[in-house]
Structure 1
Amino acid sequence: MIETNNQDIRWKQRFQNYEKAFKRLTRAIEVVKATPDDDLLQSGLVQTYEYTFELAWKTLKDYLESEGFLLRSPRETIRQGFQSGYITNAEDWLQALTDYDLTVHIYDDGIMARVLKDIFERYFFILQEFYTSFKAKTDE
C-alpha cells in the first residue's frame, strides 16, 4: 500500500512540474507567433517543447505505474496511455515522440520548420488536452 501511495504522490509532483512547463510552452508559442522570423526564439520554443513533452510522458508513466502497469519506454507508455483512455490521439503522441528524439540533434532548417509547424498545429493541442485531463485528476 505504501508503494501505491508513493506512486500517487510521484505523478502529482511530476504533474506540478509539467504544469509549469506547459504554461511556459504556451507563452513561448505566443512569443514566437509575435516574432516569427527570430531563429533564437524558435530554438527556445523547440527546447521548451522538448522538456514539456518529456514531462508529459513521464507524468503519464508515473500515473500508469500507480495503477500497476510496468512500462519500460516512452513508446510503451504512450500505447498504454491510449489503451487506458488517458490520451486520445496515439498517432500524434508517437509522432511527437519521434520529433522529440529528433530535436536534440536538429541542424537542418527544413526539419526545424516542420517541427515548429507541428508544435503549433498538433503537439500543443495534445499537450493541452493532457494538461486539462490530468489537472482534473489532481483535484480528485
Structure 2
Amino acid sequence: MDFQKDIRPQQRFDNFKKSYQLLEKYSSLELTSEIEKAGLIQFFEITFDLALKVLKDYLEAQGYIVKSPRETIKQAYQIEVIDDGHVWIEALSSRNLTTHTYDEQFTEKFVQDIQQVYFPLFKSLYEKLLEEY
C-alpha cells in the first residue's frame, strides 16, 4: 500500500498504535476503583475511534468509499481486514452508549467486554496493519 502522498494515514496509525499499547498495558490488570475503570473505558473510546479512522484510510487507499463507521466496519469485514464483523458492530454500539450512559452495572460489564472481547479485536487489527505501515 502506498500512503506516501498523504502523511495523515501514517500519523493516524501511529496514534492508533500508541492508544492500542496503552489499552494493552491496562486491559490485563485487575481494576478495582472507579477511576481505573473510567480510564480503561476512555482508552477504549480513543482506540476504537482511531481504529475506525485507520480502517477508513485503509479502505480509501484500496478504492472504497465509506461514509459511516458502520459502513467502514462492514466493508473492512467483507475484504477480511477485520474478523468478527458482528462483534465490531457491538463495539460500535457500546462505544455510542458510553457517552450517554453512566450506570454501575453497565460499567462493570463494559470493562469485562473491553478486556475479554474488544481488546482482542484491536490486537488482530493492529497486527494486520503493522505489516502495512
TM-score by length of 2: 0.92
Shift of 1:100: 0.7
Moved more, 105-114 or 69-78: 105-114
Q: Which residue of 2 aligns with 1:13?
A: 11
Unaligned runs of 5+ in 2: none
Q: Which residue of 2 aligns with 1:29?
A: 27
One-letter amino acid of the structure 1 residue matched with residue 56 of structure 2: K
Unaligned runs of 5+ in 1: none
Matched residues in 2 for 1:77 and 1:44: separation?
26
Shift of 1:125: 0.1
Matched residues in 2 for 1:128 and 1:106: separation?
26
| Aligned with 2:48 (options 46, 50, 53) | 53
Higher helix share: 1
| 3-state SS of 1:85 partner | coil
Q: Which residue of 2 aligns with 1:123?
A: 118
Matched residues in 2 for 1:99 and 1:6: separation?
35
One-letter amino acid of the structure 1 residue matched with residue 10 of structure 2: K
Sequence identity of aligned pairs in percent? 35
Matched residues in 1 for 2:5 and 2:74: separation?
24
Matched residues in 1 for 2:81 and 2:8: separation?
17
Q: Which residue of 2 aligns with 1:101?
A: 96
* Aligned 8 A contact 2:28 2:115 in 1: no
4+ runs deviating over 4 angstroms: none
Could you say what the CA RMSD is over the residues aligned between the two structures, in angstroms?
A: 1.4
- Could you say which structure has the greater relative contact order, defined with CA pairs below 8 angstroms and 6 or more residues apart? 2
* Aligned 8 A contact 2:23 2:40 in 1: yes
Q: Which residue of 2 aligns with 1:132?
A: 127
Shift of 1:11: 2.2
| 3-state SS of 1:137 partner | coil
Q: Does 1:82 align with 2:77?
A: yes
Q: Does 1:111 align with 2:106?
A: yes
